[in-house]
Structure 1
Amino acid sequence: MTEPFDKSQRHGIFDRMDQPATLHGPSRGTPKPPPEFDDVVTWAAWLYYVDELTQAAVAARLGVSRASIANYLQEARRSGRVTIRVDSAAVARTALSKALAKRFALVAATVVPALPDHPAEQRIGAAGARVLADVLDPGDIIGVAWGRTILAAARATEASRIPDLTIVQVSGSSASSADFSPELCTTLLANQLGARCVNLHAPAVLSSRDLRDRLLAEPSLERQFALIRSATKVMFGVGELGRKSTFAESDMLDPVALRQIQSEGRAKAVIIGRLIDAAGAPVPCPIDDGIVGISLADLKSVPFRLCLAGGPAKRDAILAALNGGYATHLVTDSDTAAALLEAN
């Protein structure tokens, strides 16, 4: 075998962590390779990288010490018999993730590939489900908002059982017939995680502040909002204000009032029914006095805040949310990540 081989062509990104810290020469002399291999270095490299034997197994096959195998593998890489290639697209996404985290003071950002002509919600939701699953602890109280991406995350969550886990709905229920309602997102996620589910049995918007205040004074809702304010983690999306946006389809705001807000141009995003400007500051809205749900201040007090959002139409909305410091963790797509960085 005279041509160098590239294991990454077969297995993609890889890393082998079981190599010893120190290297020593062969302890029993150099073994004779089979005829298909030009030398023992190539033989050892083939067994390790292609046949995927452990260093101990390769050492047993060749009749030498494991330290000798480490020497052979080091020589295989040094001489070019083995090349290790990290996928450039993965490197680029990792760079985008780090740049986003640094620019917007995030704990972490996750960037999924952007696929032309394919909505980003499903892939962002699936990635968000994995991010959330990795950080869940017994006793957690998880606040859940609503929207297409949040629903995708709930559906993508793998079934598991974590002790004393509570999933709580952080926004009242919408009268809309849309299939991404708050109660559905919360219930699906709770079912997947085997968690206690606490739905918020109240409208998302009431007709007046007085009616809202009287409703929230009910003991059952007081207890529920105390639970919401005790959340250790929250998963939410960011909406824009277009005609086909999730916010428009939710029927929370009268279409005439929504068009007026759009024409004024001050509001750039909506987070759980609350409007914000480009800097992330609240923007007054006709429904503010009647909203039943977590406030922006209470949202920012949750220690772990996972924002799932992406797509070209949402760049300015996500930028506003990040500028306002509403997220500690972000999951988005690569095109949106690049656009967010270019905007700043």
Structure 2
Amino acid sequence: MTEPSPDFDLIRQIHTVLVLHFLEGLKQSEIAAKLNLSTSKVNRLIAQGRRLGMVQIDIKSPFQRLSDIEQNLVASTALESARVTPTVSGNADTTLHQVGRAAANLLLETLRDGDVIAITGGKAVSAVVENLSPEHPLDVTVVPLTGGVQGKFYTDVNHLVTRMAERLGGKPILIHAPLFAENRAQRDMLTGMAPIKQVFDLARTANVALTGIGSVEPRASSYYDLNPVPEADRKMLVGMGIAAEFMAHLIGINGQVADYERNQRLVALHPHDTATCRTVIGVAAGAHKARPLQAVLNGKLLNSLVVDEETAAAVLAQMKGSEHAA
């Protein structure tokens, strides 16, 4: 049934209500009091204005360029979602803080009561933890994905697990094992011990995983905080085509876990162990993370990424260059 054409007075009344509601921000009850109408009448006038096409909502963001980059990242990779924050030129700490805050918000949107969240250590994950501010406690369990390295707060995964559980209102499960064993046999012995095996078995069932993406090329890379290596070995890693550290594993530019001795000594879950997670969030900041990110994305090891604008643009440029080279 076609709605009859409204008369001029009705159109004027609808227009007045729409202006008060959508432009001046008045509640329907406030409009009703102001115009001496019932709230139900105001609701009907707004609905009629919508039907007549009198309401056109145009939402613009001052950061539309960031939304465009996010869409390009999702379209160009296996990612299901991406969040890009502004890069603060000349201030890496502030850039990392902003990325951490965005990742913290994404994590809070993702988590549900009863979830298990598994995390790595690292500066980026630490930035996420410090930005967590839930509106109410969450009944979650936080577990590590790797053994730990003591000495710095961000390499001690147990510290970050405890801190995250405190901020979320959840429960921490800690692991009492080093990140690196002396050899593969010792690694197998450690991961076979019941207390460590139980933690990693729980981590394999995680609903959400949160991990940083490390670089291996810069001398100051935080990867070398985990296990210092001689300068010659660092150059050898780069020469071998190793481009990233993910869950403490060295990853080639093709996205595959490298066949390298260090990986054989890790007391950590394998990157593919997170494949059953509902959400695997990667967090990174800084242009030096562009190549590591490309490697991790090539391996389809993430389904969600939080990164700064400059780094995201560099990743997209590298991917475009790789396509042209192929």
Alpha-carbon distance between aligned partners in 2 of 1:261 and 1:301, rounded to the nearest angstrom? 33
Alpha-carbon distance between aligned partners in 2 of 1:267 and 1:285, rounded to the nearest angstrom? 10
> Which of 98, 102, 121 is the equivalent residue of 1:146?
121
Deviation of 1:321 (Å): 0.5
Letter in 2 for 1:162: L
Alpha-carbon distance between aligned partners in 2 of 1:302 and 1:40, rounded to the nearest angstrom? 53
1:190 corresponds to: 165
Letter in 1 for 2:103: G
Unaligned runs of 5+ in 1: 1-21, 32-38
Unaligned runs of 5+ in 2: 320-326
| TM-score, with length taken from structure 1 | 0.79
Deviation of 1:261 (Å): 2.9
> Which of 266, 286, 310 is the equivalent residue of 2:241?
266
Alpha-carbon distance between aligned partners in 1 of 2:141 and 2:164, rounded to the nearest angstrom? 10
Deviation of 1:51 (Å): 3.5
Question: How many residues align structurally?
Answer: 308
- Kept in 2, the 8 Å contact 1:167–1:186? The answer is yes
Cα 1:105–1:263, aligned 2, differ >3 Å: closer, same or farther? closer
- Kept in 1, the 8 Å contact 2:250–2:263? The answer is no
* Identity percentage of aligned residues: 23
> Which of 219, 222, 225 is the equivalent residue of 1:246?
222
Q: Pairwise mapping of residues 144-293 of structure 1 onto structure 2 (< 5 A)? A: 144-159=119-134, 160-163=136-139, 165-177=140-152, 179-241=154-216, 242-250=218-226, 252-256=227-231, 258-293=233-268
Higher relative helix content: 2
| TM-score, with length taken from structure 2 | 0.83
Superposition misfits of 4+ residues, deviation over 4 angstroms = 39-46, 67-78
The alignment's C-alpha RMSD in Å is: 2.9
Matched, 1:133 2:108: yes
Cα 1:216–1:69, aligned 2, differ >3 Å: closer, same or farther? closer
CA deviations 1:158-208 (Å, max 9, x no partner) are: 143223x21001111114435442122211111111211111111110111
Deviation of 1:130 (Å): 1.0
Q: Does 108-117 or 46-55 show the bigger shift?
A: 46-55
Cα 1:128–1:26, aligned 2, differ >3 Å: closer, same or farther? farther
Cα 1:47–1:204, aligned 2, differ >3 Å: closer, same or farther? same
1:102 corresponds to: 75
Deviation of 1:226 (Å): 1.2
CA deviations 1:271-302 (Å, max 9, x no partner) are: 12111111101123332222101112213343
CA deviations 1:58-86 (Å, max 9, x no partner) are: 254234643445677989878xxxx9561
1:318 corresponds to: 293
- Kept in 1, the 8 Å contact 2:205–2:276? The answer is no
Alpha-carbon distance between aligned partners in 2 of 1:23 and 1:276, rounded to the nearest angstrom? 67
2:84 corresponds to: 111
1:4 corresponds to: none
2:89 is paired with a residue whose SS is: coil
1:87 corresponds to: 61
Alpha-carbon distance between aligned partners in 2 of 1:55 and 1:71, rounded to the nearest angstrom? 14
Deviation of 1:219 (Å): 1.6
Letter in 1 for 2:244: A
1:106 is paired with a residue whose SS is: coil
Alpha-carbon distance between aligned partners in 1 of 2:155 and 2:67, rounded to the nearest angstrom? 30
- Kept in 2, the 8 Å contact 1:25–1:71? The answer is no
1:19 corresponds to: none
Alpha-carbon distance between aligned partners in 2 of 1:85 and 1:224, rounded to the nearest angstrom? 46
Alpha-carbon distance between aligned partners in 2 of 1:291 and 1:204, rounded to the nearest angstrom? 6
Cα 1:302–1:87, aligned 2, differ >3 Å: closer, same or farther? closer
- Kept in 1, the 8 Å contact 2:190–2:267? The answer is no
